[in-house]
Structure 1
Amino acid sequence: MPDTSKTPEAEGQVADAYRGNWVDREAPDWTRPYLRLSRADRPIGTWLLLLPCWWGVALAAASTGFRWIDIWIVIGCGIGAWLMRGAGCSWNDITDREIDAGVARTRSRPIPSGQVTVEHAVLWMVIQSLVAFLILITFNGAAIAMGVASLGLVAIYPFAKRFTYWPQVFLGLAFNWGALLAWTAHTGSLGWPAVFLYLSGICWTIFYDTIYAHQDKEDDALIGVKSTALLFGDQTPLRLQQFGIASVVLMTLAVLGALTPEGRTAVIVGLIGVAGFGAHMYWQLRSLNTEDGDTCLKLFRANRDAGLIPVLMFGLAILA
């Protein structure tokens, strides 16, 4: 008979990772703790970091015309998002190791569970950051400066929940920086449409990460960690509706600012993408049960599909 005494966490797997993910199934044993530290077994975070980058480059290309460098921007942002998400998560887990040890969902992470030492985690973070920097320097000078400027936000984020009920704002500031960077990588300078995209992404991040934070609200309240889930409480659906509307309005301004001079068809295609994005968030609100952790995790992960809708339609607007 199979041995059922081993839990996934006892074998080193992380509690909220997909069961049967490629890290746990196929990665060499010695790499697994480091890949888990980078959240390679939980790819949704990479998607949520990457999608604003793709919004930025797709809308910029729809505005000023496609360039062959855009293909490398798309690929480079994909690789860079994986690396910088891994580096950011390593930093997050280094700073949060004592907090993670006190929360049921996170105590199985590599540092609190003893799979990775703090020293090795720091080294792994540095390696990922350096490789990501090599990709960044293939972009133009303005984009390189934008990328370097984002490091301050990445460094501050893990500490936000210690002093504010709005750590999701700090996450949004860091996670959506790619909209500014990718726009700049295409155009060579920052523009108002990119700023509106950035602000839209911040509101979206507050939306999805508040849903995510409802999984931990009891533990967070006990250990003194703050979040918008605790701040909003029973008013969460209303607050999320407000941030969802704000995100849609700001993305609409981005589309109108970028595409209006280029023709009606491109604007219509872009606005269809915004409408689909908003419709997906509306579906999430209709499905939300903040007392059901499994539902919260499912809806949080569904935001990959929400963010892909504008990517697809902005891409089609290039052809319009």
Structure 2
Amino acid sequence: MALNTHKLEKILQSLRILFAFPTTTELRACYELCRLGNNIGFWVVWLPTAWSIAMAYKAQPELSVTAALLRAALYVPLSFGVKSLIMTIDDLLDYDIDAVVERTKERAIPRGAISLNRAWLFFALQVVVGVYLAFKILNPTSLYTAMTVWPLYIIYPTCKRWTNIAPIPLGLMFSVGIFMGWSDVSVDGAVPWNILAPVYLAACFWTWSYETVYQHQDKADDIKIGVNSAALLCGQHTIRICTATAVGFMCAFAYGGILNGQGILFYVGVAAAGFVLIRGLLRTDVDCPAECKEFFLTTPLIGQLILVGCVADAAVHRYLDAQAQA
């Protein structure tokens, strides 16, 4: 009996520690786990959704500017949530790798700012809140589309242990907003999958380009500890391969624009984004981590140029239509 009582006390003590109110250090660690100090992850999740809404606004005269803007604004906190969730699970599943990689060894879990159990509890809380909001806010088509990539949230962080193609699942889950955005503002409930599919492919090409160069920052450590990466797969051919995927990004996006009847400003945005992307690639030495990081930091600008082109084209189209009907 005494032994059982002792075990019970240990269990209760463990539970008290697990569910104790977080300390200031732990709160800062949760902030770090979500990468709230670095918002590139937010941009690459939100921008595809915003592109889609802008393209839907161009194609649907019945869609008001207020409805489009409100939906795009609603996706801001949702995109922050998705980005934070992905970053947290990435740190949880990769904490042992992070501990021996120079660039990541001072992250919250490896340096002991938060225990693994408490980090998992924080992740569980994010999942509960995220799933609740998804069911509460998204329409059925957007929700079911989002659910198709939820397994990738777990699969992606494990990819470096068994494959060299982690940018592929990353692109698939980051870019799914392309389908969700249009679905959420569709006037008649229809989603033009044939138009959005090449845009989705374009976003995946874009992800491969920036993420592969980004991974070159850690290649020396990756070789040392025996993990995989697209950077190691492409090696000294990285710039040529990523330039090819950058061209694929431009071509697939432009093709989606053709199918949607986009105007000249749309293609100006695509061309400007492609120019910045390819120029950055050609100027980057993949053996220099600082240059790889500098290239990666231009990623939001590329997506923003696309968005400016989409919005400007839709606005001009609406204006010309109004003038013609006046």
Alpha-carbon distance, 1:177 to partner: 1.1
Alpha-carbon distance, 1:30 to partner: 5.1
Moved more, 100-109 or 128-137: 128-137
Match of 1:306 in 2: 302
Query: CA–CA distance in 1 between the matches of 2:178 and 2:51?
Result: 6
Query: CA–CA distance in 2 between the matches of 1:270 and 1:96?
Result: 40
User: Deviations for 1:39-73, whole angstroms, at most 9, x for unmatched residues?
Assistant: 11111111112111111111111122333332232
Whether 2:61 is the aligned partner of 1:62: answer no
Alpha-carbon distance, 1:119 to partner: 1.8
Alignment: residue pair count: 287
Matching residue within 267, 273, 296 for 1:271: 267
Query: CA–CA distance in 1 between the matches of 2:125 and 2:258?
Result: 40
Match of 1:184 in 2: 183
Match of 2:159 in 1: 160
**What TM-score do the two structures reach when normalised by structure 2?**
0.84
Residues 52 and 179, structure 1, Cα contact 8 Å, conserved in 2: yes
Report SS of the residue matched to 2:172: helix
Task: For 2:98, give the aligned amino acid.
Answer: D
Alpha-carbon distance, 1:277 to partner: 1.3
Alpha-carbon distance, 1:214 to partner: 0.6
Match of 2:322 in 1: none
Task: For 1:182, give the aligned amino acid.
Answer: G
Alpha-carbon distance, 1:220 to partner: 0.6
Residues 88 and 125, structure 1, Cα contact 8 Å, conserved in 2: no
Query: CA–CA distance in 2 between the matches of 1:126 and 1:192?
Result: 36
Report SS of the residue matched to 2:111: coil
Report SS of the residue matched to 2:58: helix
| Alignment RMSD | 1.5
Moved more, 157-166 or 201-210: 157-166
**What TM-score do the two structures reach when normalised by structure 1?**
0.86
Match of 2:220 in 1: 218
Identity fraction in percent = 25
Query: CA–CA distance in 2 between the matches of 1:148 and 1:198?
Result: 16
Alpha-carbon distance, 1:29 to partner: 5.5
Match of 1:147 in 2: 146
Query: CA–CA distance in 2 between the matches of 1:163 and 1:179?
Result: 29
Matching residue within 285, 289, 296 for 2:292: 296
Equivalent runs, 1:228-239 vs 2, <5 Å: 228-239=230-241
Query: CA–CA distance in 1 between the matches of 2:114 and 2:43?
Result: 25
Task: For 1:293, give the aligned amino acid.
Answer: P
Whether 2:133 is the aligned partner of 1:131: answer no
Alpha-carbon distance, 1:303 to partner: 0.8
User: Deviations for 1:128-149, whole angstroms, at most 9, x for unmatched residues?
Assistant: 2333334433232111111222
Residues 50 and 78, structure 1, Cα contact 8 Å, conserved in 2: yes
Matching residue within 194, 197, 202 for 1:195: 197
Task: For 2:122, give the aligned amino acid.
Answer: W
Residues 83 and 129, structure 1, Cα contact 8 Å, conserved in 2: no
Task: For 2:70, give the aligned amino acid.
Answer: W
Query: CA–CA distance in 2 between the matches of 1:158 and 1:118?
Result: 16
Query: CA–CA distance in 1 between the matches of 2:299 and 2:239?
Result: 16
Query: CA–CA distance in 2 between the matches of 1:129 and 1:305?
Result: 30
Task: For 2:154, give the aligned amino acid.
Answer: A
Task: For 1:211, give the aligned amino acid.
Answer: V
Match of 2:44 in 1: 48
Change (3 A) 1:275 1:126: same
Query: CA–CA distance in 1 between the matches of 2:52 and 2:127?
Result: 22
Change (3 A) 1:71 1:139: farther
Gaps of 5+ in 1: 1-27, 261-265
Report SS of the residue matched to 2:227: coil
Gaps of 5+ in 2: 1-23, 318-326
Matching residue within 98, 101, 115 for 1:117: 115
